[in-house]
Amino acid sequence: MLLALALATSMTASATAGKVAIKDYAFQKPSITVVAGSTVTWTNSDDDPHTVVADDKSFDSMGLGQGDVWSHTFAKPGTYHYHCGVHPFMKGTVVVTAAAKHV
């Protein structure tokens, strides 16, 4: 029983995580939807540096070189628009939904 609970918890955690590649001067998955409490991870695959900056300035990755990884946990539901501070034409959105309530 404990193993089943651990597996279910592990599957839920991995299902709620999000990954976004930064490649070819674009956020691959320009829009991603996750559940509140999820962590989204960005990986820069380009030769040039990029950033992940919330339009409302609520998060900022600072400079990400090639191969660098940065993560942010989204605690509250909402729609979070972001861009690359170095290349403002690069835009993305994280949509955070409310966590399902268990009854």
CATH number of the structural domain spanning residue 44: 2.60.40.420
Asked, for residue 50, whether it belongs to a domain, the answer is yes
Which percentage of the chain shows pLDDT scores above 90? 79
Asked, for residue 68, whether it belongs to a domain, the answer is yes
Nearest to 94 by CA among 84, 79, 83: 79
Q: Are 97 and 59 in contact (CB under 8 A)?
A: no
- What is the pTM (predicted TM-score) of this model? 0.81
Q: Are 96 and 32 in contact (CB under 8 A)?
A: no
The answer to whether residue 14 scores a pLDDT higher than 60 is no
* Total count of domains within the chain: 1
**Predicted confidence band of residue 12 (pLDDT cuts 50, 70, 90):** very low
Asked, for residue 45, whether it belongs to a domain, the answer is yes
- Judged by phi (left if over 0) then psi (alpha if -120 to 50, else beta), residue 30 lies in alpha
**Predicted confidence band of residue 102 (pLDDT cuts 50, 70, 90):** low
Q: pLDDT tens digits for 41-81?
A: 999 999 999 999 999 999 999 999 999 999 999 999 999 99
* Two tokens, residue 80: 């979070």
Asked, for residue 93, whether it belongs to a domain, the answer is yes
Amino acid letter, 48: D
Domain of 23, in residue numbers: 17-97
